């Protein structure tokens, strides 16, 4: 048996991989906002969709790039999961929704919802590049990019392809310590790549009982605000757990179109985000 010690006092150096050339084809968008989280299960896609619908309701022309190649959920959340893409001489046309939001997603290119996308990083990079460059984004006020959890290929591709066209990053967290630990990695990712941190949103911040209306801190409360304070990032707002969000999301209906209290919360977050730019 071999003997010896393995030193793990510092992480291995990252591989030297040349950055892709900056894109000159991503056009027609005034503001591009990246939505990230350090881990899955924090409600990032639900947040992205409801933020996009809220911005559209405020008179903006809005698009969503569902950058989660392996788990594309945004079409389902917008009620257009059965739609397919088409292209013309100008490029690929995003799917239009009745909420005033255009969306592009890998989900539109799969034969059915159970099909797995089993791709290595290079193919995911190419798909994201096409979402940016080959899709017709005409006169968009905002494009929201909904990333998969973590700090992998998709986020790195966008940060390197369109660094000058990106307004910055919104970090979505839940209040418990494990989620906050992973959120720090997303913050570090943005700082390392010199992306502006637009703010932190604390999701699932207290459960609102549908029977008595009382609030129960299922995942604790205030962690998102604390991580924003420690990192000197703007705290954009807090979204409680409301059963109606789950019910509407499963039905393909953005919850802000059905719940007035939630609509006001998202309007406050959107206003804070706009003021931050």
Residue 79 CB-half CA count within 13 A = 16
Are 68 and 45 in contact, with CB atoms under 8 Å apart?
Answer: yes
Torsions phi, psi of 29, nearest 5?
-125, 125
Are 233 and 190 in contact, with CB atoms under 8 Å apart?
Answer: no
Q: CA torsion angle for 52, 54, 59, 65 (degrees, to 10)? A: 0
As a whole number, mean pLDDT of residues 216-235 equals 85
pLDDT tens-place string over residues 6-59: 555 666 666 555 667 888 899 999 999 999 987 788 899 999 999 999 999 999
SS3 3: coil
pLDDT value of position 191 = 92
pLDDT value of position 14 = 61
Q: Is the pLDDT of residue 215 over 60?
A: yes
pLDDT value of position 9 = 63
Q: Which of the pair, 187 or 4, is modelled with greater confidence?
A: 187
CA distance linking residue 256 with residue 55, whole number of Å: 11
What CATH number should be reported for the domain whose range is 29-275? 3.40.50.300
Residue-wise over 143-181: b if at least 16 C-beta within 10 A, else e? bbbbbbbbbebbbbbbbbbbeebbbbbbbbbbbbeebbe
Query: Per DSSP, what are the bridge partners of residue 93?
Result: 86
CA distance linking residue 236 with residue 229, whole number of Å: 11
Cβ-based burial of 41 (10 A; exposed 0-12, middle 13-18, buried ≥19) = exposed
Torsions phi, psi of 236, nearest 5?
-85, -30
Residue with tokens 């006092």: 9
As a whole number, mean pLDDT of residues 230-234 equals 92
Are 266 and 54 in contact, with CB atoms under 8 Å apart?
Answer: yes
Percent of the chain with pLDDT over 90: 57
pLDDT value of position 98 = 96
User: In this predicted structure, which of 130-139, 180-189, 254-263 has the lowest mean pLDDT?
Assistant: 180-189
CA distance linking residue 46 with residue 37, whole number of Å: 12
As a whole number, mean pLDDT of residues 92-100 equals 96
Domains of the chain, by residue range, sit at 29-275
CA distance linking residue 219 with residue 39, whole number of Å: 15
pTM (2 d.p.): 0.90
pLDDT tens-place string over residues 146-164: 999 887 889 889 988 998 8
On average, the pLDDT of the chain sits at: 89
């Amino acid at each position: 048996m071999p003997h010896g010690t393995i030193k793990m006092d510092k992480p291995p150096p990252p591989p030297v991989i040349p950055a892709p050339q900056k894109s000159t084809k991503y056009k027609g968008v005034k503001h591009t906002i990246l939505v990230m989280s350090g881990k899955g299960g924090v409600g990032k896609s639900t947040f992205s969709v409801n933020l996009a619908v809220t911005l559209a309701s405020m008179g903006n022309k809005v698009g969503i790039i569902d950058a989660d190649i392996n788990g594309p959920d945004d079409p389902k959340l917008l009620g257009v999961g059965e739609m397919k893409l088409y292209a013309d001489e100008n490029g690929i046309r995003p799917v239009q929704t009745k909420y005033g939001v255009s969306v592009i997603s890998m989900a539109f290119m799969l034969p059915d919802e159970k099909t797995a996308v089993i791709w290595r990083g290079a193919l995911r990079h190419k798909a994201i590049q096409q979402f940016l460059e080959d899709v017709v984004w005409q006169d968009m006020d905002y494009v929201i990019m909904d990333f998969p959890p973590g700090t992998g290929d998709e986020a790195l591709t966008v940060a390197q392809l369109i660094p000058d066209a990106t307004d910055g990053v919104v970090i979505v967290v839940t209040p418990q310590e494990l989620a906050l630990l992973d959120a720090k990695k997303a913050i570090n990712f943005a700082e390392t790549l010199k992306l502006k941190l637009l703010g932190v949103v604390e999701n699932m911040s207290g459960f609102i009982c549908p029977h008595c209306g009382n609030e129960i801190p299922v995942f604790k409360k205030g962690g998102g605000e604390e991580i924003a304070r420690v990192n000197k990032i703007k705290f954009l707002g807090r979204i409680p757990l409301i059963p109606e969000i789950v019910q509407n999301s499963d039905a393909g209906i953005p919850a802000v179109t059905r719940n007035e209290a939630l609509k006001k919360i998202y309007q406050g977050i959107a206003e804070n985000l706009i003021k931050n730019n």
